[in-house]
Amino acid sequence: MSAVDPRGTSAHGSAPSSAHAHAGDDVPARDALPDAARMRSLPRLEPRTPDALAGHVRAAHADGRALLPAGLGTRAPRGALPARADAWLSTRALDGVVHYEPGDLTISVQAGLPLDALDELLRPHRQRLAAQPFARTGSVGGLVASGAEGALALRHGTVRDTLLGARTCHGDGVLARSKGRVVKNVAGYDVPRLLVGSLGTLGVLVEASLRLAPRPARSALRVATYPDATRALAAARAVLDAALEPALVDVLCAADDARPGAPPVPRLLVLFEGGAARVDGQLERLDAVLRASRPDAFELLRDDETLPLLRHLDDAPRGLDDLARARDAAPPEADTNPTTAGSHAPGVAHAAHDVLVLRLQRTPRTLPEALAALRDATAAAGLEATWLARPGLGSATLRIAPRTHAVPATNAVPASRAARDPYTHATFLAAAATLLDAPGRHSGLQVLSAPDALRADPLRVFGPPPPAWRLMGAVKRALDPRAVLAPGVHVGGL
């Protein structure tokens, strides 16, 4: 079988821009345009046992074929388009529980186990996987491979902090077990942490051992609305510097459907969990801190009332509109087909193609300035952003889409034409490319989801390779010597 080569160039079909020229000649060139239809038509392998999965990988290794690891397909594929692909390799059928010891707060499961099924299994024992998203979409393997950041990362850490051990099939088809399922384990190299966020390029996760957390008895979410983002971010910093123990401190800036055409509304969200007395005491101290920041409005959600809103905070901010509607919203339906999920924003079914989701990672102190600069650049490119910032983690996620009222003027779209033409897919791609290819691209910026034309260039998706890129390449060659697994999707085309 001949491999499909979905590689591409820039959004305009030209060579990568000069903004990426300094990345180095070692970055693989990508010369062909993507063929999304052929990618969707690739066969999908669904082995039912780890040995069967390893057999598929061994055969691909021997034949020089490329496989694309996939889970349930509920998240848009992250990273660049693969350099070549012959089949999807899905862990959907590997959905069993290997070992669960509630008394130890640990569990070992197969990679294809859905996160909502895991949550239902843990609920009777008053336990949870705190690193998983509130939306409970996707599988355990997808959570590890994507490195998705859950809403509770401020207090409980990410999946990287929760993953105790793993069984993995590497690119030569060998099944290997790394570390174990106990919390105190120092034997061997920390290969499981390498798998987190590797996008399936280092191995296919078969089993994962995870540390669990108690499920809290009570929770309360304080929502404060501010007139501008600067004050909301300053209030968040005051909360983080206070003698409080929040599980979440987020700033969401989203449009309000009740006020069409009005500027986005910045909201500070602070979540407390624990016993009733503890939660109430934390709320009282929080309100004393927030009163000094003079918010426009307060709202308090308790226990199950918090879940619909918190589900919206996972993966990508999506414009929460008014809180009453968010409180009554059902969990988002998701595309479960990994061959078509690439056209959707994370966790959102049938999302518009003209959406760009970015992640900005800086230090907590430098995040506000970097976020403001990126918002200004987004507006200059003729786009508008909904964003979610986690000041305590130094991270922000931006969902960028066309302005609904105008066509932006870009190098490819003169102002005279922009004034009279409706907004098209081509003009969105041109504006998004302008943002991503700007000289002095913002450091710590990564594309999480985008149309395929913008994912064709790994330099555009990840920015210039980091200083450790050669070391990363050596690890890739050691674990996947013939580049069988997701070749080209990671930073620098690894």
What confidence tens digit (pLDDT) does each residue in 330-385 have?
333 333 333 333 333 222 222 346 788 888 888 888 888 888 888 888 888 888 88
- How many helices (H) and strands (E) are present in the chain, helices listed first? 17, 18
- Out of 17-26, 186-195, 398-407, 475-484, which region has the weakest mean confidence (pLDDT)? 17-26
Residues 35, 4: Cα–Cα separation, whole Å: 8
Alpha helix stretches (DSSP H) within 64-166: 115-122, 140-146, 153-156, 159-162
Residues 457, 11: Cα–Cα separation, whole Å: 9
pLDDT score recorded for residue 260: 57
- Cα atoms in the Cβ-side hemisphere of radius 13 Å centred on 322: 8
Q: Provide the pairing of β-strand 87-90 with 44-45.
A: parallel
Q: What pTM does this model have?
A: 0.79
pLDDT score recorded for residue 242: 92
Amino acid at 493: G
Whether pLDDT at 220 is above 80: yes
Phi, psi of 82 (to 5 degrees): -65, 150
Phi, psi of 480 (to 5 degrees): -145, 70
125 contacts: CB under 8 Å, gap ≥ 6: 102
Whether pLDDT at 405 is above 90: no
Give the pLDDT band of residue 471 (cuts 50, 70, 90): confident
- Out of 123-132, 310-319, 322-331, which region has the weakest mean confidence (pLDDT)? 322-331
Kindly report the average pLDDT of the chain as a whole number.
77
Query: Helix axis angle, 229-241 relative to 367-380, nearest 10°?
Result: 160
- 354's tokens: 């003209």
Mean pLDDT of 241-252: 92
* DSSP codes joined into one string, 144-172: HHHTPPPTTHHHH--HHHHEEEEEEE-TT
pLDDT score recorded for residue 248: 92
pLDDT score recorded for residue 213: 92
> Taking the chain, what is the end-to-end CA distance rounded to the nearest angstrom?
23
Give the pLDDT band of residue 287 (cuts 50, 70, 90): very high
- Cβ–Cβ < 8 Å for 33, 478: no
Residues 405, 428: Cα–Cα separation, whole Å: 13
What confidence tens digit (pLDDT) does each residue in 249-280 have?
999 887 665 565 667 789 999 999 999 999 99
pLDDT score recorded for residue 1: 41
Question: Radius of gyration over alpha carbons of the chain, in Å?
Answer: 22
Phi, psi of 334 (to 5 degrees): -130, 155
State the virtual CA torsion across 68, 72, 78, 83 in degrees, nearest 10.
10
Amino acid at 447: V
Question: Would you call 261 exposed, middle or buried from its count of C-beta atoms within 10 A (0-12, 13-18, 19+)?
Answer: exposed
- Which domains are present in the chain? 1-8+24-215+463-494 (3.30.465.10), 218-315 (3.30.310.180), 354-450 (3.30.70)
Whether pLDDT at 2 is above 80: no
Question: Would you call 394 exposed, middle or buried from its count of C-beta atoms within 10 A (0-12, 13-18, 19+)?
Answer: middle
Mean pLDDT of 422-437: 76
Amino acid at 327: R
Residues 295, 293: Cα–Cα separation, whole Å: 6
Alpha helix stretches (DSSP H) within 381-455: 415-420, 425-436, 452-455
Whether pLDDT at 112 is above 60: yes
Mapping DSSP onto H, E and C, the string for 212-234 reads: CEECCCEEEEEEEECCCHHHHHH
Q: Which residue has better confidence, 242 or 432?
A: 242
| Nearest in space to 387 (alpha carbons), one of 402, 403, 401 | 401
Residues 187, 178: Cα–Cα separation, whole Å: 9
Report the SS3 class of residue 71. coil
pLDDT score recorded for residue 373: 85
pLDDT score recorded for residue 179: 63
Mean pLDDT of 203-231: 92
pLDDT score recorded for residue 419: 44
What confidence tens digit (pLDDT) does each residue in 64-87 have?
999 999 988 777 678 888 888 899
Angle at 440 between CA 435 and CA 446, to 5 degrees: 55
